[in-house]
Chains A and B, each alone.
Chain A
């Protein structure tokens, strides 16, 4: 956290509602994120995550309620706020046919940052070898890393990432996690949307579970799982699944039956919390 600033809310959303026609994409959401926290907004497709994020970024005018970022109202477009936030949008928002380096240089110039800072970021996201490749020729993971670098090139205090790992293979996803964790370690507040449970669990200090425009719960992953009070699931080697509230007794019984080969024991996961809260099939 930057010195000399009091610890205050990086984001303050009060009773925010935003509708598209009859559809209430965001329905009365209130949210407070302190500075330096890594927050995930978790929800199925169409839950309203992106709309909520865009309302907080100041891209959309709320129908009612308000959003304040770093102590400043986000709507209407606030030029004083923009250099202090970094944004990665869902799609890869790049200038056509520029190389990775030119892309970063362009964004650096938009923020009045020296091009040297942009070159540093190229290194930090591991794209030095791809510096001269056009953005169209980058892999999905490389493009995501470049767009994150573009969001961070001006060293913002608060970073918004909209589904940064969408459409990546598992390996590229893990690589990106390290990068994202590093961003937060530098003291920045990070808000990301995702529909991956494991991602939210691994990265976020707190997770907001969202569905149908509402935030159903907002807490640390472990608190969410504790609150679920879920039964333990025992997965046997032959594919049978035993659900129990007394795992010790159950495992003793299975041991007596000599059925512990390849057994796995699962307590509640964020996914269970999610399914419990939304009461539906996982639709990601």
Chain B
């Protein structure tokens, strides 16, 4: 039994220590917002926040996250930055199939927390681990900039 903290809530999970957090979230806890895409930290579909930093849940053993704060896409509605990112995503009609977008949003939110006004190369670096096969990259870039400007406006 591992005790982990997800979206501000303490959870006990029974999965063996080495089980990737992704499958604990999806199969054991039924939190399906975090997606499976590759299983090797190559596509970013499973991106979550560990103490605010983006990590890939598909290669993170559940035992490694005990004692840390995990945030998933399901909590972004209540997160100031997450909400701004979600709003920008809707305004610019970013999604096509939408499967990768939870991971994209988690990477974008983590980027904007670390760099509220990211440069193009910071966007490249933060986002290039997230694949979108539908090809929504230009809109994602635009949505990150939109969210960034909105957040700057709010804090001023």
Q: Do A and B come together as binding partners?
A: no
